[in-house]
């Protein structure tokens, strides 16, 4: 007899930054879930059944019973508020605003240069048989540096994580992006100049939620 389906299903890709953000929230809250792989980057394009879940064909999408939700920041907030477990949002309005500011900064200014500008060109492209686009990497690096400087300025000094002693949704949003960036020689060299974020990355890398969501790129890291 097949096992009953878990009430929480996450549609996405193990290697996807945004899918991992949602998974980190589920892992930190201790929520049992099943990851349903949906290949949206294949030659056939986005599967038709996934467009029903997400009209723009993006990932991830969360299904909790009969409730369906897309957009990663909405998913992580829902996970934090709908399930028991340690809180992932700060208690005060100011701290929550800072957390949301960091999440917004990451989506608007950091994700594209860190991941698509550097990681995809330096790590992902060669694995698919394409040479890195050095001009694209060079063009992305100043934006990476500006984003890391802005992030550093928004963190709480003398705290082990971005805003305090415990992870918030800001930490979970940043980790997959910065972890991929740090897999590249360009990223490692830049992070050596941003010691606050470099040390933060090492602390986050020890968390069980991170270990339980490692991507193929980390598992094959030299």
Compute CA distances 55 → 49, 75, 145, whole Å: 10, 16, 34
Residue 222 has pLDDT above 50, yes or no: no
Phi, psi (5° rounding) for residue 177?
-65, -50
Q: Where are the alpha helices (DSSP H) in 106-168?
A: 111, 125-127, 134-154
Inter-residue contact 218 to 183 (CB < 8 Å): yes
Give the model's pLDDT for residue 44: 87
State the pLDDT confidence band at 3, using cuts at 50, 70 and 90: low
Q: Domain 93-213: give its CATH architecture.
A: Up-down Bundle (1.20)
Q: How far apart are CA 173 and CA 222, in angstroms?
A: 25
Q: How far is CA 34 from CA 11, 31, 61, 109, in A?
A: 8, 10, 12, 31
Every domain of the chain with CATH number 1.20.1050.10 lies at 93-213
> pLDDT band at 221, cuts 50/70/90?
low
Handedness of CA 120, 118, 106, 217 (dihedral sign): positive
The yes or no reply on domain 8-82 and CATH 3.10.450.50 is: no
Instruction: Cite the residue boundaries of each domain of the chain with CATH code 3.40.30.10.
Output: 8-82
Average pLDDT of the chain to the nearest whole number: 95
Whole-model pTM: value is: 0.95
What tens digit of pLDDT does each residue of 36-81 get?
999 999 888 999 999 999 999 999 999 999 999 999 999 999 999 9
Q: What share of the chain is helix, strand, coil (3-state, %, to 5)?
A: 55, 10, 35
**How do residues 87-144 score in pLDDT, each as one tens digit?**
999 999 999 999 999 999 999 999 999 999 999 999 999 998 999 999 999 999 999 9
């Amino acid at each position: 007899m097949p096992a009953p389906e878990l009430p929480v299903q996450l549609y996405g890709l193990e290697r996807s930054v945004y899918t991992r953000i949602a998974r980190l929230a589920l892992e930190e809250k201790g929520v049992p879930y099943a990851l349903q792989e949906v290949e949206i980057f294949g030659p056939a394009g986005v599967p038709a059944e996934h467009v029903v879940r997400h009209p723009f064909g993006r990932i991830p999408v969360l299904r909790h019973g009969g409730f369906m939700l897309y957009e990663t920041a909405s998913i992580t907030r829902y996970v934090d508020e709908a399930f028991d477990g340690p809180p992932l949002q700060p208690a005060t309005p100011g701290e929550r605003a800072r957390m949301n500011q960091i999440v917004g900064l990451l989506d608007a200014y950091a994700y594209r240069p860190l991941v698509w500008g550097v990681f995809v060109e330096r790590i992902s492209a060669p694995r698919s048989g394409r040479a890195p686009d050095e001009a694209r990497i060079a063009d992305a690096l100043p934006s990476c540096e500006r984003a890391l400087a802005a992030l550093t300025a928004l963190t709480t000094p003398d705290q082990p994580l971005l805003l305090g002693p415990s992870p918030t949704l800001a930490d979970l949003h940043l980790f997959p992006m910065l972890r991929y960036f740090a897999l590249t020689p360009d990223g490692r060299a830049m992070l050596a100049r941003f010691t606050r974020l470099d040390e933060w990355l090492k602390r986050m890398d020890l968390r069980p939620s991170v270990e339980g969501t490692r991507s193929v790129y980390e598992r094959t890291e030299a």
